[in-house]
Each structure stands twice: as C-alpha cells, then as structure tokens.
Amino acid sequence: MSAQLKILAINGSERDGNTADVLRHAARVAENRGVDFETVDLRSIRMERCGPCGDCNDRPVACTLADGVPEVVAKMVAADGIIFAAPVHGFGTASLMQTFIERAGVGYLRFDRPLSNKVAGIISVARRYSAGEVWAQLTVNALLNRMILVGSGFPATVHALHRGDALKDKEGLTNVSRLVERMTDMMELLDEHRRLSGRSDALASGEVNERVGLALNELQAQP
C-alpha cells in the first residue's frame, strides 16, 4: 500500500463511557490490520451551535463561526475511513453528534461533498431502545455525503446501561469487529485501485453537490 490507511472515529458522547470503550475496541481491531485509528471526542472540542444568521442554505462559502469544527472536518477529509459513533440519549442521537452533523454538514460538507467515496462505518450504543433509529440516522448522514457503506452483517449496535456494560455485549462487539474488518477490506481495495489505475475517483461523483439545478441555486449563479 502507498501509505498507512487511516480511520477517523467521531465520538458523539458527552462522557468517556461506553461509546469510548467500544471505539477503543474498534481501534484494536484496526491496528491489528495495520490501520491507523484516531478518535475525535466531540466533548473535547469547542463547538458552537448553529447561529441565528439563518443563511446556511443560501451562502456560497463555508460557515464563519469560529470553533473547532473546521479542524475536525479537515481530519475527516484526510482520512480513508470514518466511523460515526453515538449513544442514544432521550430516544435520539446524543446532542453533541447532532450538533456536529448540522455544523459540519451545512457549514462545510455540502459545497463539494469532500467525503465522497470515503468508507463509512456507523456505531450506536443504547440501553435498549432506539439503537436502530440512531444507527439509521447516522447511516443516512453518511449516504448524503456520498460515502461508501460496506455491509457487515448485523448493524454495529451495542447495548449498555452502566459504565463498562458495553464490553460485556459480546455480540455487539463482534459486530463492531466485523464492521472495522470490512471497512479495512474496502479501504485496501480502493487503495489498490488508486495505485493500479492512477485514478483517485473510483466512483465518479458527477455534480459537485445535489443542489445543482435547483431554481434557487441557478438564480444565485447568475451574474
């Protein structure tokens, strides 16, 4: 391989708890395959909520709020694979991950979809309810960004309540291991394609973003 492949994990939990434990498990699987694994804990970065300006969908340039989100987006763009991991809070996605999806997606990623063709993995952690719903929301986010999702059997949902419970969910951790293994397989396949073909676009993205052709965009494009 031309360089060490890398997976960046986005941890949407407010605590160093079960989601972090699951990602440490994922890191061991990746490292056994020779893949660099880095986790960004959203709780540790300064992240503003979307502001009152209200022009996110109209502006032609990236968000101007000054916080740590652009640095995380740059790490995502540089990685080969990205794992979105979040616990279920209040029957939905933990608020840190929800805020990040809004800030990164509308503020930066929607202009030219720089995550296109990167390999995505989704992990949700829950006591019992809504694990599938959160997994599905994060999956749709990956698909919106034109990422490649590799089927790994059962979804990587891990059941836990108290700190340490995630490491007792053997089936859940097995599914996480399968997810990381399959992500690595696809990353290696794409890397081999790049080396043999000399092309960086295994799947042509086509239009720069899905807003091309919409009436509002066409009006803005006129001089």
The model's confidence at residue 61, banded by pLDDT at 50, 70 and 90, is confident
Q: Mean pLDDT throughout 47-52?
A: 82
Q: pTM higher than 0.85, yes or no?
A: yes
Q: Mean pLDDT throughout 193-222?
A: 75
Asked if residue 87 lies in contact with residue 21, where contact means CB atoms within 8 angstroms, the answer is: no
Please give the structure tokens belonging to residue 166. Answer: 């995630």
Task: Using the Cα atoms of residue 90, residue 166, residue 180 and residue 34 in order, give the sign of their dihedral.
Answer: positive
- Amino acid, single-letter form, for residue 22: V
H-run or E-run covering 101: helix 95-104
**pLDDT tens digits along 174-199:** 999 999 999 999 999 999 999 999 98
**pLDDT tens digits along 3-49:** 899 999 999 999 999 999 999 999 999 999 999 999 999 999 999 88
pLDDT of residue 219: 47
Question: b/e per residue, 49-59, with b = 16+ CB within 10 A?
Answer: eeeeeeeeeee
**pLDDT tens digits along 98-141:** 999 999 998 889 888 999 999 999 999 999 899 999 999 999 99
pLDDT of residue 53: 75
